[in-house]
Amino acid sequence: MTEKTVKGPASYFPSIEKKYGRPVTEWQELIRSSPLTRHMELVGWLKSEHGLGHGHANALVAATLAEGR
C-alpha cells in the first residue's frame, strides 16, 4: 500500500500548526472573515498582523482561496 504524499499548499499545514499553535481551520476562518480579498493583501495582513512567515501565509491564503470564500 502506498501512502499519499501531500503536495501543494497543504504540505505546509503541519509545520504551520506546530509553529504558530493554531489549527489550520482557525487560520482559514480568519482569512475568510477578513474584509481583504486579494491574495497578496491577505498574505501581507497575515505577516504583519499575525507574525506568519511569507511561505506559511502564502500557503494558507492559496488553499483558502482555492476552496472559495
Q: What is the pLDDT of residue 2?
A: 54
Q: What is the mean pLDDT of each run of 10 residues along the chain (69 residues)?
A: 74 96 97 97 98 97 88
Q: What pTM, to 2 d.p., does this model score?
A: 0.88
Closest CA to 52 of 1, 7, 18, 2: 18
Gap between the Cα atoms of 25 and 3, Å rounded? 23
Report whether 47 contacts 57 (CB < 8 A).
yes
- Site of grid cell 498574505: 43
What is d(CA 69, CA 66) in angstroms, rounded to the nearest whole number?
A: 8
Task: Tell me the C-alpha distance between 53 and 5, whole Å.
Answer: 23
